[in-house]
Structure 1
């Protein structure tokens, strides 16, 4: 977590909460600060200051912890391999091991080869240098954004990192830009990257606190409407993951309307928002509304983004789920759900790899849809015919 809570009592903090003069650790008030000093901060204050003050010290610490977890999680895939960037098995400076968290070498669902295997430190350094070059050369937004995506996407296969590798890179990004001023867009972008990394390992409560801090920062610093819509979109997804479905629905409805107004219905961000909005409708069991939106949006996504784009695949997944999860679905709709998910899962396994979380989600939905179809196609056995019920005696 970034430091959005009082170091003494853990209460949420205002952006201008009082700080320790030396290490910049933040507190609710002077009472909490004095209490924390007596409970041990006196011994840590100088160390935190030498480590770059509270936010930097904390980010560095959490980054090291996240890297260790990622390396352990990837141990089976990286055994006997070397980093494709520095060509070493163990990083010469940090001593860390290797990770693998993308689709490289996994196009057919089977991990193979050395492509994509690297140290988190090497991936982070690669992204840092790429972004620095974009800043130095004053590249336009599209070119800059392609460089920035190296914090989240593999530069080789262009698929998004997932799981513990995404979390470690989220902390790497935040520790790199934590010292930027509040008005610097890279600071809020790094916070968003951290929130996405936390969500990748299901730390949704922590991700929510970061996203709320980003939204507060954007509003305080006069962020543009697209920037605020992007943050609200992330917030809505996290609301949904935490079971706050009504909040998610209201936010995703407003975000979708905002993107339609700004960019029209065939823009990538609009289509992504449409998928999120349909998911929120489905989770509120408003299945017909969700299906109607997906029937309108999926052909647009196929035309604008392509059949194998992640957004297109997610939209087809959402549509299929609205069919087989609907208690009122017809037999033909259940068959359509199975057919759609079979094609979606096959495409995801080919494009994203068998280890990707989306592939696993599609295949889980496919199993559920097949089970629902089997249950509908197989008529229930009459228990009386099987002799499972006692005869009812006449009164």
Structure 2
């Protein structure tokens, strides 16, 4: 085994290659029903010519669009980043290319679930051999943590995020970068049921973002969204509603009506309205109306299979049920 690991590029590279293959297999299996009879839009084959892997699709593409092999998507991203590095393109040009590791080039929506996780392992195995001070490697570990979180591999995500935070601190990273990693860590703690710990972390992160970026900032909006989500889990609904009332119009101005962050903020506010134990009839009606509007928008913008769309549909059912329970029956006093 030691010889095999050494041939594979030593332990980190060997592990990354192994985990990548496992993640691709999981993604292909998850997407099997959706991809049946389709071909890759990049290489035009059903099976990848080299790896023999099947197809995936985990974005907002619909119809016959968006089917691909993880290997083809990874190769696309790798080539774009290599070109940027070889030609010494500026920071802005690099940032336009880097999201190919988690975002579809056709619909421009982020991949989700196990497809995002497989691409994240592809990214990490590509750059793990670089020195720790290499910025691309630093970005790759962040992509990996987010990919594991997207696939709900929460314990693994936490390990990667803690390693990234330790690395960022060793390298004296800017405060904004530290806040990003702390946010990921807090969300993993929240997913694992450590609710008070997570909420306290997210409160401090939100305060840090307001101080660093001001309220009219996408980063601050995301911090507010994360913090209010944790308040909802703790049933501190009034605090959540108060902050969300301010955040919804700011998100619409800063991010745009159809941006995923805006949609998530609107969803969180609608949930807070009907989950409040003291919700009035008007609150419940407003929640249902907001969720009905949101369901139409998310289905149009993101597609029916996107986690935000399915989440909105579930919350709409819950809000309608809450409204029915609250509505007086005909003839009652």
Same fold (TM over 0.5): yes
C-alpha deviation, 1:152, in angstroms: 0.6
Kindly indicate whether residue 323 of structure 2 is the aligned counterpart of residue 373 of structure 1. Answer: yes
Alpha-carbon distance between aligned partners in 1 of 2:218 and 2:93, rounded to the nearest angstrom: 16
- Secondary structure of residue in 1 paired with 2:129: coil
Deviations 1:345-393 (A, max 9, x none): 21111111001111111111111111000000045999xxxxxxxxxxx
> Structure 1 381/279 Cα, relative in aligned 2: closer, same or farther at 3 Å?
farther
Q: 2:24 aligns with which of 56, 67, 72?
A: 67
Q: Distance in 2 between matches of 1:53 and 1:287?
A: 50
Residue 221 (1) aligns with residue 178 (2):
no
Give CA deviations for 1:125-184 in whole Å, capped at 9, x if unaligned.
Answer: 111111122223333333322211110110111101012111111111110111111111
Q: 1:165 aligns with which of 115, 120, 132?
A: 115
Equivalent position of 2:283 in the other structure: 333
Match of 1:25 in 2: none
In structure 2, what is the Cα distance between the partners aligned to 1:326 and 1:50? 58
Counterparts of 2:90 and 2:323 in 1: how far apart (Å)? 51
Q: Which residue of 2 aligns with 1:32?
A: none
Closer, same or farther: CA 88–207 of 1 in aligned 2, 3 Å:
same
Map 1:334-373 onto structure 2 (within 5 A): 334-373=284-323
Match of 1:281 among 209, 217, 231: 231
> What CA distance in whole angstroms lies between the structure 1 residues aligned with 2:58 and 2:199?
31
Q: Does 1:93 align with 2:50?
A: yes
Alpha-carbon distance between aligned partners in 2 of 1:235 and 1:95, rounded to the nearest angstrom: 36
Query: Quick check: 1:102 aligned with 2:59?
Result: yes
Q: Does 1:230 pair with 2:187?
A: no
1:78 — aligned with what? Answer: 35
Matches for 1:137-176 after TM superposition, within 5 Å: 137-176=87-126
Q: Which of these residues, 137, 144, 156, is aligned with residue 194 of structure 1?
A: 144
Rounded to whole Å, the distance in 2 between the matches of 1:116 and 1:326 is: 40
CA distance in 2, matches of 1:246, 1:145: 35
Structure 1: 5+ residue stretches without partners: 1-43, 106-111, 383-395
Q: Give per-residue Cα distances to partners, 1:40-99, cap 9 Å, x unaligned.
A: xxxx11111011111111110111111111112111222222111111111111111111
Taking the aligned partners of 2:289 and 2:184, their CA distance within structure 1 comes to 30
- CA 369–125 in structure 1, closer or farther in 2 if over 3 Å, else same: same
- Judged with a 3 Å threshold, the aligned counterparts in structure 2 of structure 1 residues 183 and 331 are, in CA distance, closer, same or farther, namely same
The answer to whether 1:50 aligns with 2:7 is yes
Name the TM-score, length of structure 2 as normaliser.
Answer: 0.96
Distance 1:224 1:360 in 2: 36
The aligned counterpart of 2:218 is 268
Name the counterpart of 1:203.
153
Q: Tell me which protein shows more helix as a share of its residues.
A: 2
Q: CA deviation at 1:342?
A: 1.0
Q: Count how many residue pairs are aligned between Structure 1 and Structure 2.
A: 332
CA distance in 2, matches of 1:160, 1:314: 14
> CA separation in 2, counterparts of 1:175 and 1:369?
44
Which segments of 5 or more consecutive residues in structure 2 lack a partner in the other structure? none
Give the alignment partner of residue 259 of structure 2, picking from 309, 323, 329.
309
